[in-house]
Structure 1
Amino acid sequence: DLVFTLKESLKPQTNYIFYCQSCGDIIEKDRNFLRVLPLPSENWSALVEEWCCHPNPFARSPLHPQHHDCFLGDTFFLCLFFNESHVPESPKSKENTRVFCKRCKIMLGETVSSDTVKYYVTEVVIQPSEGSFNPMPRSQFVQSIVAQCLVELSSAKSTFRFTVKGDDGKIYILIWILNSDTLLVESLGNSSSHNVFTRFGDSFMPSSGPVGTWNAVKVLYQPCIKSRNKDLADAWESDIGVHPLVFPSETCLELLLILGLSTTSLPPSLRHMNSFQV
């Protein structure tokens, strides 16, 4: 795998270093967790209300980690603050709850309580302390993380439709998985799409050999920025069969641009299916 998969690789009683994915700055050193636990699905509280014949017993008991705990969500992980320099001084508004990298000022996550932080998996890289940080081009990292989320959730929850929402609560993209085990093969010597992603400063093709092969997730998508496809977005948001994926708003825009560039690399006849882009 191209990226460090938290759910499979984050182990208790092991020292880790948190890095900013964008600039490589160390966020936290020598984090050691005694418990690494998965969180329930995003709409678990609503399901409790449907199944209980009495008031929701968890309504006033949010799931926050204790000391040396790490809770894993679909697109984030929760832990207690370790580096106090990242704690916002006065969390009176949404802007003040955001946590930023001290070096590059990229949003890393947000506070969910006075001592608990939510880090997004698209912004923070976690690696064992004895290892070294190997930077990955930003667009390649975002693609890998989002693809992993889509594959894992579609397999675990048997859902194939997703809304990509920003931390501002807005829906940016509607995604419908077509195929999660696509194998792409392309001749590198005569590739018209080889430089499609140069705006991000990286290439997704293998660097050697006459033929490049790599795994991919094939999706249909609809942009929802500037009120585009609002009716469809509203319908998907209220559909219990659609799973939400929440990322920082800036990352949602990055993902939308990546999808658009990927679409333009296809032959014109293969870029659309019904009203969706491929």
Structure 2
Amino acid sequence: MVPGTSRWLSVLQGLGQAGTMTLKPPLAGIPAAPVPIPAAVAREAGGEELEAVWINEVGGTSFRIGADTTAERYIKYAPVGTEDTDFAAEAQRLGWAGAHAIVPRVLEVGGDAAGNWLLTAALRGESAVAPGWIPRPAMAARALGSGLRALHEALPVHDCPFESSLSERVKDLERRIERPWNPADWPPGYSLHRIETALELLRNPPVPAVRVVCHGDVCAPNTLLDEQGNFAGHVDLGSLGVADRWADLAVAAWSTEWNYGRGYEELVYAGYGIAPDTASIAYYRLLWDLG
């Protein structure tokens, strides 16, 4: 048991959020209805087949252009005012990571008065939450773990210019709490007292295990699989940076519950080749949920 585990678990149990937290995830997914096409996206498509493939929780949309052609590509679009849309920063991370791992090649970063966008070349494979993989969760979960291990081993931590600072993530949460408190801003089940208790807990992280270059948002939708169910690549690396590997592992395994249901987390750890670290999993899930 790593130092601080007993304290961690006792406090989490007091919060009603023990190591197997099941808070409602952010709303994101494949569009269930037609999506308005921004003018910039339509211009980029230039008459080619255009399809909305993903809507994220903060209002951005991803489109596929030229499906199944040699020029197939994807464009992420965020209207002005949407949070977390520093596509220039994501392009830098993709450019650096692309020298070592399987990630999309950046074609263009742009913006106008209406919004911003990031255009990338398509990778072979499809998302681990594509309709064909939902009925095969065990295979997808293992590939999620093995793909994450491949990413962590491929990206050179000592040469990485990007940091995913734990202290900055906690400070950002502190800044949010300093604003007028609105219960609607927090996940279901929390009260102000619990938020304050959780914040104190987050200021005292478990001892870091192994520092790697983390994906930063390594959930099932951002992992690509080939037709045989093998890992084929990663997308959406806007939060890439050096951090404890459990910052990725805890959320990657948790995402199987959101996308496939319960019972597949252990397969992610098996695919990665690691035993679960209960304290680190609890810490990084709480940080993710509140952050």
Same fold (TM over 0.5): no
Q: Which has the higher contact order (CA 8 A, sep 6+)?
A: 2
* TM-score, normalization by structure 2: 0.25
Higher strand share: 1
The structure carrying a bigger helix percent of its residues is 2
